[in-house]
Structure 1
C-alpha cells in the first residue's frame, strides 16, 4: 500500500457516522473515498468484470486454438515446430502476468493496469489483422500437386510474431488484474459477501468458458472457412466493446490501495534476517516487533498471527538497539510480524506451485496435438457441414459450463453437510482431484490415439498426409470432457487458492503466480517435445511427432505424460498433506493489543 503521512486520515475515519454503510476492508472508490456498501461491489460490479473476461477469452482462444492450424497450413511450419511455437507463446502469455501484477500491486492499481493493458491488447489484435489478411505478410500457398510449400520470409515471420507477442503483453496486464479486481468486489469482513466470493471464482470460470465456446464454435469456423482477417477482426471489435463496458461500470467498483513493491518487502525481510543471523528468536511472540508500517492503518491491512513455519525468518522481527539508527527512509533491519508472515505466505506456496507444473504440461496439449488429431478425422455433420478442428476447445469449455453450476449448486452444499467445510472440500483437495482427472485424460487420449492409428492402417491411408481417416471426430470427446472435469476442479481451485493464500497487498501477484503454472507448463511441454523428438528421430524410426501424424506416435507421448502426471500427483499429495492454511485475527483485537 502507498505509505501515508502519520497525519493523514484513514479512509474509514474520514467520513463520520457511516460505519454501517462503509466497506470494512478499507476499499475506496476511484477518487479515494471510502467505498459504500450499497453502491459499490458485489455482483453488480462483478458482472461487468465477468463480461469483459468473456470478451477477452473470445479473443485469446480465437488465436490460441487456431494458431497451430495457421502455422502449419499458412506459415508452412512443421507439426513439431508449430507445437513448440504455440507452447512458447502460450507460456509467454501466462508468464507476463507476473509483470502486470507487479505494476498493479506496486504502482498503478488494478483498475488503471486493466485499462492500459486493454489498449495494448487492442493494438496487438489490430496488428494481427494486418498480418493475416494482407498478402505481403503471408507466404504463397503450397503447390497442390507436388506438395512443396514455400518458406515464410523473415519479414512475414517477424511481423506475425510481433503481433502475437503484443497481444501477449496486453494479456499480461489484463489477466491477473481483472480476476483479482473481480474478487476485490467482495469483502472478507462480511459473512455473506465472503460466501459470494467463493462462488465468484466458479462463475468467473463459467464466464471464461462461455467465451471459449463462442470462440470455438463460431470464430473457428469463420477463421477456417471465411478468412483469417475477418476471424481476427471480430474479437478486436468485441474487445473494444468490452473496454467501453468496463469503463461504464467504473462507478460500481471497489478499489484496493496500491502498495509498496512486493519485491522490496521480500528483500527487506531477507536483509533483516542476514543482519540478525546470530539473533535468537524469542519463544514468546510479544517480544517480536508489532510496530506497524509508517502511516499504514489497520483497517486496510490485516494483522497476521506468527506461525511456526519458516521460523528462521522471524529473526527479522526481533528488536535490537541498532534497529532505530536509521531515522528516515525504509528500515532495512526491522520488520513487523505481518510483513514477515506475508513473505512466508509467498514462499510456502512454491512447493505446491512446483507440484502442479505437470498439470500445466498436460493442459498445453489440447490446443496443439488434440487439434492436429482432429484435422485428420471425419468431421462432417450431414452431407456438407464440417466441424472446425479447433472446436475441440469448445467441447472442453462446454463440459465446464455444464459442470460448474452442478458443482456450485449441488456438489458444494452436499459435500458441506458431510465435511463441514464451507467450500464443500478444501481448496487443495479440489486441486488434487483435478490433477488426477488430467492424467486420466492422457490415459484416455493414448487409447483413442491407438484406435485412430489402427483405423489409418486398416484403411491404408497412413502414407497420405491430407487424407481423412474414416473415424468420427467425436471419438476425441472423452479426453476433452475429462480435461473439462479436470479444469472445474483444478483450474478454479488454483485460482482461488493462490488468491486466498496470498497476502492482502499481493492478490494480483497471487493470480499471476497461478497463471505461471500454465506458462511454465507450456515451456516444459515445448522442451519435452524437443527432447522426445531428438531421441525418437534417430535411425529409421519415425519421430513421435512426424509431420504426417498418421505415421507418428502421439499415443506414446500421451502415455509418457500420464506417467509423469502420476509421479507429480504423488508429490502433490505429500506436500498438500502438510500444508497449513493462513490464519488471521480481526483488526479490532489487534488494535487494542498494540494501542
Structure 2
C-alpha cells in the first residue's frame, strides 16, 4: 500500500493565499472554507439581523409620537440622534475587532447585547409597569409616560444600537473576507458580493418588515417588538451554525495606534528632509507589504515620509522607537486612510437626506389616504419597502447586465469606477429631494383646497401613492451610492483596517443623522423667529417640509460639486498586481 501524500491533498494544495485562518489560527483550504457557501450564510444572518433592526427603527417615529407622546420635531430629532449613535458605534466595534477580538468574536458578543436590548424593548411595551399608559379617546387625553418608563425604553433602545454597532461593520467585512483576493475568480466574486449582500438585505426588508410594521400599528407593540427579538435569535443561531466553514483574519496592532505613531514620528522629524542622504535612509522601503499584498509607494502626503527616516538619534536611543521610526508600509497605510477623508466629508449631506425616509417621509404618509383595498390601510412606514423593492429589481440588472456591458466598454472590472458609481447615486438623490418637495407642495395644496389646514387629525384626500416616486428614486440612488460606499470604504482601506473601513462608511449616515437633528433645531428656531411659523410644527398642514426638502436638494447639489472635484483627483490604492492602476474617474 502506498503511503498517503499530504502534499497531494486538495485541502493542502489549495491553501488560501491571503493569510486566512480557521478559528484556531491554522491555515485554511479555499476548497473547504469561505467562498459563496460561507458568504451566503452570512448574508442570511444579515437578512434576519436587518429585520430585527428595521423592525424597531422603521416605525420608531410613530411609536415616539403616538405612544411616548412626543411632538413631531422632538420625535424626529430623537430618531435622528438614535440613528446617529447606532451608525457611529460601528467605529468602536470595528476598532475592537481589528485590534483585539477579531471579527468573529466581536460579532458573537455584540449579538448577545443586541438580543438583550430587543428583549428589554419588548418588555417595555408589554409589562404594565413599564408600558406608557394608553390614551383615553373618550376625553381625547393622552397621559404622559412616567420618567422611569421613558428611561427604561431609551436604555433598551440604545442597547440595540450598541449591539448593532459591533455586529454590522464586522459582519459585512467578515462576509467579504470569505473571498481570496489573490485568486482572480474570487476577487471578481468579492465585487459581486457587495451587490448581492444588499440584495439579500432588501429581500428580507421588503417581505417581512411590512408585516412587522402592520402588526405594530394594528395588533400591538409588544408583539411588534417581540418579532425583531425572535429574528435576532435566529440570526445568532445561523451565525454559530456556520462556524466551521468561515475564514478568519488575525487581529493586528490597533489601527488607531498605527495612525497616531506615523503622525508623531513625522512631527518629531519636521526639520528632516526626505531627500536628504546625510540624515539617514528610508526605513523598510523594500517591504511595502499590506498583509499579503504589496502596496506601491505614493507621492501624496510626502510630509509623512519623514516618519520613515532613520536618524542618528534613532540608532542611539531605542526606547519608544515605534513612536519615532515607522516602516514605509505603515506610512502608506495612513496615506490610504487620509485619501478617504474628503470623500467621506462630501458624502455627509447624502447621509442627511437618507435620514428623512424614516422620519418626515413617514409622518407625511400618515396624513394621506392610505387605503389600498376597501378599508384596508397600509401603514405609512411600509412605504419604505418600495426602496427595498427598487433595489431588488435593479441589483440583478446592475450586476448581471450593466457591469458586463460597461466592462466591455471601459475595461474596468467593476464596469465603472467606485467613485463614478457613488457620484451617479448622489445626483439621483438630488432629484429625489426635488420630487419630494414638489409632492409636499401638492399635499399642502390639497389640504387648503379641502379646508383641512386646521384639522390635522383628518386624512387628506390625497393618495399616499403620490409619495411613491421619491421612494423609488431613493432606491435607485441606493443601488449606486449606498452600495458604492460599502465597497469603496472596504476596498480602499488597508487590509488590517477593513472593519474600520466599513464603520467609516456607516458613520456617514450616523453623522448625517446628527446633522439632520442639528439642522432641524436651527431651522425650528429661525423659522419661528424670522417667519413667525415653525417649518416643523405638529400640524403638518401648516408646516413647510417642502422648504426643508428644497434646502436639502440645494445643499446636496453643492456638496456633489465639491465631491466631483475631489473624485477627479483621487488616486486609487495601487498594488503590485496593479489590477486597477489605469482606472479613469469622471
Instruction: Name the TM tier (shorter chain).
Output: over 0.9
The residue aligned with 1:341 is 332
- Alpha-carbon offset, residue 327 of structure 1: 4.6
The residue aligned with 1:538 is 529
Distance in 1 (CA, whole Å) between partners of 2:230 and 2:424 is 38
Contact 1:74-1:138 within 8 A present in 2 as well = no
The residue aligned with 1:39 is 32
Q: Secondary structure at the match of 1:259?
A: coil
Q: Secondary structure at the match of 1:309?
A: coil
Greater CA drift, 337-346 or 320-329? 320-329
1:555 aligned to 2:532?
no
Greater CA drift, 568-577 or 319-328? 319-328
The residue aligned with 1:578 is 569
1:362 aligned to 2:356?
no
1:288 aligned to 2:282?
yes
Normalised TM-score (structure 1): 0.92
The residue aligned with 2:581 is none
Task: Kindly report the root-mean-square deviation, in angstroms, between the aligned alpha carbons of the 2 structures.
Answer: 2.1
Of 195, 201, 210, the match for 2:188: 195
Contact 2:290-2:494 within 8 A present in 1 as well = no
Of 396, 404, 416, the match for 2:407: 416
The residue aligned with 2:500 is 509
The residue aligned with 2:62 is 69
- Alpha-carbon offset, residue 160 of structure 1: 0.6
- Alpha-carbon offset, residue 121 of structure 1: 0.2
Distance in 1 (CA, whole Å) between partners of 2:79 and 2:500 is 25
The residue aligned with 2:393 is 402
The residue aligned with 1:78 is 71
1:30 aligned to 2:28?
no
Deviations 1:350-388 (A, max 9, x none): 111000000000000000000001101111122231111
1:460 aligned to 2:451?
yes
Distance in 2 (CA, whole Å) between partners of 1:291 and 1:488 is 40
- Alpha-carbon offset, residue 456 of structure 1: 1.1
Distance in 2 (CA, whole Å) between partners of 1:298 and 1:75 is 54
Distance in 2 (CA, whole Å) between partners of 1:283 and 1:576 is 33
- Alpha-carbon offset, residue 142 of structure 1: 3.2
- Alpha-carbon offset, residue 77 of structure 1: 0.3
1:484 aligned to 2:484?
no
Contact 1:303-1:338 within 8 A present in 2 as well = no
Contact 2:291-2:496 within 8 A present in 1 as well = no
Deviations 1:404-444 (A, max 9, x none): 11110111111111111110100000000111111111000
- Alpha-carbon offset, residue 331 of structure 1: 2.2
Contact 2:17-2:292 within 8 A present in 1 as well = no
The residue aligned with 1:442 is 433
- Alpha-carbon offset, residue 291 of structure 1: 6.8
1:568 aligned to 2:571?
no
Contact 2:7-2:13 within 8 A present in 1 as well = no
Of 202, 207, 215, the match for 1:209: 202
Distance in 2 (CA, whole Å) between partners of 1:380 and 1:153 is 35
Contact 1:216-1:390 within 8 A present in 2 as well = no
- Alpha-carbon offset, residue 298 of structure 1: 5.8
Contact 2:259-2:334 within 8 A present in 1 as well = yes
The residue aligned with 2:146 is 153
The residue aligned with 1:9 is none
Runs of 5+ unmatched residues, structure 2: 1-5, 579-586
Contact 1:75-1:138 within 8 A present in 2 as well = no
Q: Secondary structure at the match of 2:143?
A: coil
- Alpha-carbon offset, residue 323 of structure 1: 2.1
